[in-house]
A and B are shown apart, each in its own frame.
Chain A
Amino acid sequence: MLSFITRRIAVAIPTILILVIFSFILMYSAPGGPFNSERPLPPEVLANIEAKYGLDQPFWRQIVNYVWGVVTQFDFGPSFQYKDRSVNDVIAQGFPVTLTYGFWSFVVAVIVGVSLGVAAAIRHNTWLDYLAVGVSVGAQALPNFVLAPILVLVFTLWLGWLPGGGWAGGQWQYVIMPVIALSTSYMASIARITRSSMLEVMNSNFIRTAQAKGLPMRRVIWRHALKPTMLPVISYLGPAFVGMITGSVVIDIFMSTGGIGQFFVNSAFNRDYAVIMGITILVGVLTITFNLVVDILYAWIDPKIRY
């Protein structure tokens, strides 16, 4: 197991390096630059700015400097757009916000999704099953850019219960709507995966054996069925968790949370190279990490898997 983890980490390093180089090339090959605007800058002004940010150097030199700064000093460079902030500041400010609502969305999506899926599978082809499937299909079909404005309309304008956006340091009133809006579609996917997986498990021989031994239904489900059911769910949850904690642009735009998703999109539009790179690397590292976590969980859950 330990050697497996070591090997995976060893592979992760070149993977991230390739990610950095590819993102860098893609970014630079996009037309425009961070200092283009409706009003083109006079050449001498532009030259000063490019010199300040090292953009006047040859391309390979910029990549080398960038990677060197990241590796040796954990310095992701200054933001071109937000002049008094470095990329580290941007991430330090935005990531906790995203992490907070992403984490709660994950908790809600898993609890509600798994419960719905299990309930639907156990009561297969009953009204409960139809209801659960109906809810999850409905939730899946309702994209969060539609759901978010509806939530604000209902809870802010009509009922006046919750603030229509903002973050206010993460007070609970401000977290509720982002969590509902973000978790709904994940919840639906989890419910559907759980249901089909559970149905398959319930028809397998070892469950029939357990039932034949006269074990009570509750014990069959908790002790025997739930763990194998979770296998496909967990492989879905790894990337889903990263997706949630690295933010949803839609949530940031509609809920004005100040999370990292908004910076990601804006930096792409503004060609704020350093911020794009910083967030790309963050997402890359998290994705690799959680894929590893999923693999480890797999081995723990499924005795057939050995690394």
Chain B
Amino acid sequence: MTLKAKLMATGAAVLIAAGSMASAQNTHPVTGETLAEDQTFIYRVLDEHSSVDPQVVEDVSGSEVVRDLFEGLYNQDEDGALEPGVALSHAASDDGLTYTFTLRQDAMWSNGEPVTAGDFVFAWQRAVDPELASPYAWYMELMSIENGEAIIAGEMPTSALGVSAIDDHTLEVRLTKPLPYFPQMVTHGTTFPVHPPTIAAHGDEWTRPENIVSNGAYVLTEHIPQERTVRVRNEMYWNNDETIIEEVVALVINDENQALTRWKAGELDRTEVPAGQFPALAEEFPGEAISFPRLCSYYYTINVTDTANPALLDPRVREALSLAVDRDIIVNNVLAGGQTAAYTFTPEATAEFEIPDVAKAGMSQADRNARAQELLAEAGFGSGGETLEVDLIYNTSEAHRSVAIAISQMWKQTLGVETELGNQEWQTFLETRGNKDYEIARAGWCGDYNEASTFLDLMDSGSGYNDAGYTNPMVDDLLAEAKTVQDPAGRQAIYTQIEEIIAVDLPIIPIYHYAGSYMMDADVGNWPVNNVEQNWYSRNLYKIAE
């Protein structure tokens, strides 16, 4: 080909590409909706993210940015199911201890270099490196990767981690115990690859917009702490052709009512619904106030160790307190944002989890109250006995206060229980609760991955998050057993059994399962309301022409 012919051919290719881009701008390739001229998505975040370093990030708003900037082995689709990311597929050994991932050939860093298995090895070793001291090193422990714990403890070099690159496009991972849900775990930011030369060149400052090299659908172009983070489409991303949103802007707005005003003024595409305002806003802005289940539970944990209120060591008292909580009033009147009443710890939205038949879920509140009074009387309290007095602590927040007041009123009216409410500043609260220096405390838990064990593991007597100090050897055994069962239905049966035990032992009072609620502009397409972990990717969104 002569130079001239070459030039003409390139010119033609550019024209064709431009033409197809132009038409892609106009209508959505799948739904056929007319797309807006301006494909910028602007959303509000409560607070500045702590980091956009995949191995360091620990907060929700940072993880949202990380999922746009980086791509791990697998992604989640709109429903939370796995879809290929950098990895096309994986194979597990028969004993479930070795996973081999096959990586795609066309994955690129934003500087044009290929993404290799070695980049993953580097990233995973980095996550457990005591020198980096990532707060999310525990996630690698949770993934049970060979030698992970010893490396974190400084007993082994990072090179001993059970992950290796067989070749540039084959990654092998070795586990210490079979984890049936291991593939789900690699959608988490901690496992995303990073570009070794960039980190070598810039150290801690490698995540700044002027330095960062990433492999996701977007690149970071601007970051003004406490004000805004801007990311724009990454032209080097392997699937860039399907990305529609050009630019994503996260604005830090601390006050949620102020954010709502700015949403109403059209400055934002998405903001949170302030507590209790959902019904009014849904009426005022039909179709723009959206609510959907989340993989989170709100509960009260009851101290059952020897520092407890002796009365609360009696399971009948705990059962009475649990029964007397009218969860429907909490979710429909106090919160009113689409939350659902909880009678089990694990939310119904959890993958493959079915809510077991817990007796109190099927009763009417009147029956529950009657039963609660009976139980409390049997335990020697209430009418005829002495007055039960309990302390309830929660961390300072309008919503927690409302729930606590409502519940203490229910306890008083139904059972004559005197509740002393105490709110504590967050850090103080965590310390008080962690030291088991409480009687009843507010708690919340969101799943790290979409499987019931992410909740039920808290009931293990050895769990660091078991604030109730609950021990039941049977539960410990069942939890250990569940880890070895490959068949989801078999695991489900075990989880059901554990929930049933908890419903009797009652170290916790489940109150409600969270709902996410947003004010979302009607022109935002494809928000993944069915993804209960709310792992959303800007590349799947689009703006519809108004």
Give A contacts to B, CB under 8 Å.
30-33, 35-42, 44-45, 48-49, 51-52, 78, 81-85, 90, 93-94, 148-149, 152-153, 156-157, 160, 163-167, 252-254, 256-259, 262-263, 266, 269-271
Contacts and interface: CB of A to CB of B under 8 A. Distances in A.
6 contacts: A30-B428, A41-B135, A44-B153, A45-B134, A48-B154, A152-B258
B258 A164 contact: yes
Contacts of A252: 226, 254
Nearest to B464: A40
A40 to B, nearest CB: 5
Given A32-B430, A44-B149, A49 B225 contact: no
Given A41-B138, A149-B261, A160-B265, A84 B53 contact: yes
A81 B50 contact: yes
Contacts of B255: 149, 253-254
Nearest to A169: B224
The listed residue with most B CB atoms (<10 A of its CB), out of A82, A256, A270, is A256
A258 B47 CA distance: 11
B427 interface: yes
B534 interface: no
B262 A152 contact: yes
Contacts of B225: 82, 85, 90, 93-94, 258, 263
B29 interface: no
A37 B60 CA distance: 13
Given A157-B264, A157-B265, A256-B252, A42 B138 contact: yes
A156 to B, nearest CB: 5
A15 B224 CA distance: 34
Given A84-B53, A163-B267, A256-B251, A152 B138 contact: no
B94 interface: no
Interface stretch (B204-212, B237-245, B363-371): B204-212
Contacts of A164: 258, 261-262, 265, 267
Interface string B526-539: 00000000000000
A251 to B, nearest CB: 11
Interface string B219-231: 0000011111000
Given A149-B257, A256-B251, A84 B262 contact: no
Nearest to B426: A269
B542 to A, nearest CB: 25
A253 B254 contact: yes
Contact of A258 (B134, B224, B464): B224
Contacts of B196: none
Contacts of A93: 224-225
A93 B222 CA distance: 13
A275 to B, nearest CB: 11
Nearest to B129: A48
B152 A33 contact: no
Interface of B: 47-48, 50-51, 53, 56, 58, 130-131, 133-135, 137-138, 141, 149, 152-154, 204-208, 224-228, 251-255, 257-258, 261-262, 264-265, 267, 425-428, 430-432, 434, 444-445, 464-465
B51 A82 contact: yes
Contacts of A262: 226, 254
Nearest to A257: B227
A94 B226 contact: yes
A260 to B, nearest CB: 9
Nearest to B207: A84
A206 B56 CA distance: 70
A39 B428 contact: no
A228 B448 CA distance: 67
Contacts of A90: 225
Contact of A38 (B56, B432, B444): B444
B264 A165 contact: no
Contacts of B226: 94, 252, 256, 258-259, 262-263
A254 B252 CA distance: 10
A270 B425 CA distance: 11
Contacts of B465: 39-40
Contacts of A82: 48, 50-51, 225
Given A40-B434, A49-B133, A51-B130, 13 more contacts: A31-B432, A36-B431, A52-B133, A81-B50, A83-B53, A93-B224, A149-B257, A152-B258, A156-B267, A164-B262, A165-B262, A254-B258, A256-B254
A257 B258 CA distance: 13
The listed residue with most A CB atoms (<10 A of its CB), out of B48, B131, B227, B434, is B227
A55 B319 CA distance: 43
A52 B251 contact: no
Nearest to B264: A157
B224 A256 contact: no
A84 B51 contact: yes
B152 A48 contact: yes
Nearest to B152: A44
A52 B129 CA distance: 11
Given A42-B138, A48-B152, A164-B261, A30 B427 contact: yes
B430 A256 contact: no
A90 B428 CA distance: 26
Contacts of B149: 44
Nearest to A46: B135
B130 A83 contact: no
Contacts of B445: 38
A47 B134 CA distance: 11
A81 B81 CA distance: 32
Nearest to A256: B253
A32 B428 contact: yes
A255 to B, nearest CB: 8
